């Protein structure tokens, strides 16, 4: 998008709206509007060609009133401390909305991973974790994957932290490979949760996901799984995209085949010829019933919200719709299932992974998926009831629940000393 979206301003604006509904005390509002800890590190890595490059990385912990902090680590060129702070704040509300005993955190390194070898990414990860390890820990702050990181990166994080502790610390990170203490179902969890939310939300507006046309922006972990599961539920996936661009076919795209052939291959999806080639911007405006933005933030703004044809938007990504876009959707009657509810499946199964690791007792995948679905469905019902009670939109309803739970915990604990 041409418009620059400042996600920290966006997150604070969302908090301010919820604070007005909750009649939140000014001091308490101020506590919640600021992260409790921001760590910025600059660290060198020796590249494969012998040159030394300095990288900037961040770990921001927003609020730990309800438990240790939790949140992903992102490797992307546009990562900065403000974006990381906004994402940490959203994690706090997300964990509270779905009732997990965590606060929110987020981390990242400013890097275009495409330009570096696997060995360089491993060295960067190990050095980054060493720089931030004093704020991490299984009872302190627990990272997970996000854009540009995956189970292998989580394995390196676990190993680096463990080497420094002198013993294996399984619970310091989630999203690990299953044979290293990861949970079955974690890779698919966010996309699965998005699909469950799409089913629930469709019902509330008299639609049936299995008879709907769906567009998914982003073909990474979240987008490709959500698209595949929507297709499994009978929906027709008519549009897909990755960072390079998108494809659209009103008769439907063969998602499983496309996942098999192109997932994880940037730009690959455009090699599929039996579809119209569209830009990412155009894709959002193509005809469909359900839109799942599952790439990056700031994709639907005041510039394009009125051109979006979907009646239901389910936010797989964090922050894809701006507050201006929310207002346009509220006027148009488009239902938006907000990120802090819609994409909570990842952190829910990360929580399961943490619990399983602490007990060294691991569950079967159907148990993981059943529990995930139950938690998300309950949270959806609570958010929907709050939306109706307060006559507000679903984002604000989710924030009202999340912010209130964190505010209550803060008040009950009291302000130290």
Residues that bind ligand NAD (CB under 6 A): 145-148, 190, 217-223, 241-243, 266, 280, 294-296, 316-318, 343, 346
Which of 356, 333, 409, 392 lies closest to 174 in space, CA to CA?
356
Tokens (6 digits) for 177: 């490979």
> Up-side HSE of residue 51: CA atoms within 13 Å toward CB?
5
Query: Residue of minimal CB distance from ligand NAD?
Result: 220
Is the CB of 129 or the CB of 226 nearer to ligand NAD? 226
Is the CB of 217 or the CB of 236 nearer to ligand NAD? 217
> Helix or strand or coil: residue 270?
helix
Minimum distance of ligand NAD from residue 325's CB (angstroms) = 16
First to last CA, the chain: 46
Which residues carry out catalysis?
106
Q: How many CB atoms lie under 10 A from the CB of residue 361? A: 8
Question: How far apart are alpha carbons 292 and 304 in whole angstroms?
Answer: 15
Minimum distance of ligand NAD from residue 246's CB (angstroms) = 8
Minimum distance of ligand NAD from residue 163's CB (angstroms) = 26
Contact of 336 with 329, CB cutoff 8 Å: yes
Minimum distance of ligand NAD from residue 348's CB (angstroms) = 10
Q: What angle do CA 329, 314, 341 make, to 5 degrees?
A: 105
DSSP structure class, residue 111: -
Is the CB of 174 or the CB of 334 nearer to ligand NAD? 174
> Up-side HSE of residue 264: CA atoms within 13 Å toward CB?
4
Minimum distance of ligand NAD from residue 346's CB (angstroms) = 3
Minimum distance of ligand NAD from residue 245's CB (angstroms) = 8
Contact of 405 with 24, CB cutoff 8 Å: no
Question: How far apart are alpha carbons 29 and 10 in whole angstroms?
Answer: 15
> Helix or strand or coil: residue 417?
coil
Is the CB of 189 or the CB of 207 nearer to ligand NAD? 189
Is the CB of 271 or the CB of 331 nearer to ligand NAD? 271
Is the CB of 132 or the CB of 342 nearer to ligand NAD? 342
> Helix or strand or coil: residue 236?
strand
């Amino acid at each position: 998008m041409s418009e620059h979206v400042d996600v920290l301003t966006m997150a604070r604006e969302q908090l301010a709206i919820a604070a007005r509904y909750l009649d939140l005390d000014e001091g308490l509002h101020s506590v919640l509007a600021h992260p409790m800890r921001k760590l910025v590190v600059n660290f060198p890595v020796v590249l494969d060609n012998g040159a030394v490059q300095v990288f900037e990385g961040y770990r921001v912990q927003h609020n730990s009133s309800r438990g240790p902090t939790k949140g992903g680590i992102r490797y992307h060129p546009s990562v900065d401390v403000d974006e990381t702070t906004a994402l940490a704040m959203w994690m706090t509300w997300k964990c509270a909305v779905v009732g997990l005993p965590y606060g929110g955190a987020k981390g990242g390194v400013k890097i275009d991973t495409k330009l570096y070898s696997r060995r360089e990414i491993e060295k960067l990860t190990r050095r980054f974790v060493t720089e931030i390890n004093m704020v991490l820990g299984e009872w302190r702050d627990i990272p997970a994957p996000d854009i540009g990181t995956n189970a292998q990166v989580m394995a390196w994080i676990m190993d680096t932290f463990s080497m420094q502790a002198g013993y294996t610390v399984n619970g310091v990170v989630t999203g690990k490979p299953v044979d290293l203490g990861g949970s079955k179902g974690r890779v698919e969890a966010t996309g699965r949760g998005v699909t469950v939310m799409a089913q629930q939300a469709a019902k509330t507006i008299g639609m049936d996901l299995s008879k709907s046309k769906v567009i998914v922006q982003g073909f990474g972990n979240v987008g490709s799984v959500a698209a595949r599961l929507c297709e499994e539920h009978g929906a027709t996936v008519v549009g897909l995209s990755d960072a390079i661009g998108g494809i659209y076919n009103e008769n439907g795209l063969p998602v499983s085949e496309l996942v098999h052939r192109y997932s994880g291959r940037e730009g690959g999806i455009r090699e599929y010829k039996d579809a119209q080639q569209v830009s990412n911007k155009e894709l959002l405006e193509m005809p469909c019933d359900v839109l799942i933005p599952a790439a990056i933030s700031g994709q639907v703004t005041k510039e394009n919200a009125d051109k979006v044809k979907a009646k239901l938007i389910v936010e797989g990504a964090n922050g894809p719709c701006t507050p201006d876009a929310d207002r346009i959707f509220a006027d148009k009657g488009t239902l938006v299932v907000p990120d802090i509810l819609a994409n909570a499946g990842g952190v829910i199964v990360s929580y399961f992974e943490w619990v399983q690791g602490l007990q060294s007792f691991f569950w079967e995948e159907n148990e993981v998926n059943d529990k995930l679905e139950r938690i998300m469905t309950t949270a959806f019902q609570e958010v929907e009831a709050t939306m109706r009670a307060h006559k507000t939109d679903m984002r604000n309803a989710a924030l009202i629940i999340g912010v209130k739970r964190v505010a209550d915990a803060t008040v009950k604990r009291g302000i130290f000393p």
